[in-house]
Structure 1
Amino acid sequence: MEIRDAVPSDWPQIWPFLRDIVRAGETYTWARDETEESARAIWMAEALPNRTLVAVDGDTVLGTAKMGPNHRGPAAHIANASFMVAPQHSGKGVGRALGEYVLDQARADGFRAMQFNAVVETNTQAVKLWQSLGFEIVATLPEGFNHATKGYVGLHIMFRPL
């Protein structure tokens, strides 16, 4: 597996699994009917300090991450990132590899910490992964996420210094 900056030609492989993950309504705070045009504008970074990454095996995109500053101005030293792994590649270490890469890249880019604003508490696989990489749950917004099948569930804010 290689992790590299995404290029425009990666989008046709990213969009199908991104679309399906968002439409499932279980892990992302995006509108479930997000259009391809809008999703591409949100996900595909245009310029630094924002980055979009892909984990690939040969020509196959296994997963993707988006990272950049969580805030602007005097809070721009805190990074943020989002991750998606193609379901057929789940459980193969893609998420962990992307997470470790993003943490290293954020540190190299001069960020001092990373904050995840919206980790759905029922996404226990992600919560466990982030905790194993040193993140702590610093707050939970009760009923902050309207899960497609479980109704209103908590939304974790997770943080770790770099």
Structure 2
Amino acid sequence: MLACVLIREATTADWAAIRPFFRTIVAAGETYTYPRDPDDPTSRAMWMLDPPGRTVVAVDDDGTVLGTAKMNANHMGGAAHIATASFMVDPAHGGRGVGRALGEYAVDWARTTGFRAMQFNAVVETNTRAVALWKSLGFEIMTTLPEGFLHPTKGYVGLHIMYRRF
């Protein structure tokens, strides 16, 4: 586990540290519904949200970026009271509690910002570490879209919609 992790607003300068693990995770094609080879401007636009959305980084004591999360309203209009979030942890820093710290932060952000609930739209069912983490943070699987995701080695697998009310 981490001795200390600080979660702070991501800056433009942080993209240089996020970009390598963003590309690695997206190119692997195992956990995100993103195209596997987006160019840099597209990647940055997908991840580095403008307000009222929020992108944060988790850093250790020496300022190394360990992971990142983006948070925003899941929908507009009459459904804008439901938040969503996405998370990436640098694989070099996995298993150290960074994902949990970012998840707890995102839930707290959504609750204190005034959202009534949080929904994850597409949690790949074979991403068992993420599914277990979200369940431990109070999320439940509302439904699974069968064969909703083409995994590079496991073929078509389900996509969970996960939800937590505040």
TM-score, normalised by the number of residues in structure 1: 0.98
RMSD: 0.6
CA distance in 2, matches of 1:119, 1:145: 9
Which runs of 5 or more structure 2 residues have no equivalent in the other structure?
A: none
Report the Cα distance in structure 2 between the residues aligned to 1:35 and 1:127, rounded to whole angstroms: 29
Residue by residue over 1:114-134, the C-alpha shift from the partner in whole angstroms, topping out at 9 and shown as x without a partner, is 000000000000000000000
2: CA distance between counterparts of 1:145 and 1:15? 24
CA-to-aligned-CA distance 1:38-86 (integer Å, 9 cap, x gap):
01011001211x0001000132100000000000011000000000000
Alignment of 1:1-162 (within 5 A): 1-48=5-52, 50-57=53-60, 58-162=62-166
- Number of aligned residue pairs: give it: 161
Distance 1:33 1:151 in 2: 19
Percent identity, aligned pairs only, is 67
2-side partners of 1:35 and 1:153: how far apart? 26
How much does 1:101 deviate? 0.5
| TM-score, normalised with respect to structure 2 | 0.96
One-letter amino acid of the structure 1 residue matched with residue 150 of structure 2? N
